[in-house]
Amino acid sequence: MYRMTLYFVCFLLMIPTGVHAEFYKYTTEEGQVNYVDDLSKVPPEYLNQVKTYKTEEDILTESQKARRRSREQQQEALQRQAQLEEESRQKKQKAKAALRTKVTIRNDRVMVPVIIGYGILKTEALLVLDTGASITTLYRGVVDRLYMQSFEWTTARTAAGNQIDVGLATLDYIQVGPHRRENIRAGIVETTGTAMGHDGLLGMDILRGVNYRIDFTNQMIIWE
């Protein structure tokens, strides 16, 4: 009896609130009690013993039904409003996160992660932020990951006065934080000896016209 009552309660819970409906009960030869919401679902051999039940909606007056529908509409409106507010909050949170880039600060050097694209390939690199560099300079290992073969070679003078060979190549883009620069002419230099701990210099060709501040405490660039 308890199991039959439980089945009945579960069946009732499956009927949407406020819906006008009838449901039907029949018992099989094995004693199993069944409830269905469509008379056609009752096997023919049990039609003669079918009992019909009505939902709560059927016994309400028209004014009671109207009040119930009004309450349900108000609840649905509140749920929609809450959903819109949550979507708006998540959108603002995502936009705020996009304006923050985690960096590595070591010995007063700010190393910024970037994405470099060339053809169908792209690679990540860690570049030292250098406001004194007119163009972005990459170490040879970075461009090797992009399978760049052809460079235009020239000579350049370092801040210490030394002359070095520099290759010039045009990258499809460099992405730093929310900013993307396309068709960037970058310098390529060879590196030897101990690993530098970074992949080159992020120059003013990327940073020019970009407003940002560095949060040294949290090691982060905040783009404005």
Residues 15 and 75 grouped into a single domain: yes
Number of domains in the chain: 2
Residues 73 and 30 grouped into a single domain: yes
Residues 55 and 122 grouped into a single domain: no
Query: Which CATH number covers residue 209?
Result: 2.40.70.10
pLDDT digits (tens, 9 = 90+) for 164-178: 778 888 999 999 999
Residues 58 and 78 grouped into a single domain: yes
What are the structure tokens assigned to 219, written together? 């090691």
- Claim: this prediction has a pTM higher than 0.75: no
Which residue range(s) make up the domain with 151? 100-223
Cβ contacts of 163 within 8 Å, gap of 6 or more: 155, 156, 157
Residues 104 and 92 grouped into a single domain: no
CA distance 33 to 53: 14
The answer to whether 69 and 18 are in contact (CB under 8 A) is yes
Residues 112 and 205 grouped into a single domain: yes
pLDDT at 198 over 70: yes
Residues 54 and 136 grouped into a single domain: no
Phi, psi at residue 105, to the nearest 5°? -115, 120
CA distance 47 to 131: 87
CA distance 25 to 45: 13
pLDDT digits (tens, 9 = 90+) for 110-166: 999 999 999 999 999 999 999 888 889 999 888 889 988 777 777 666 656 667 778
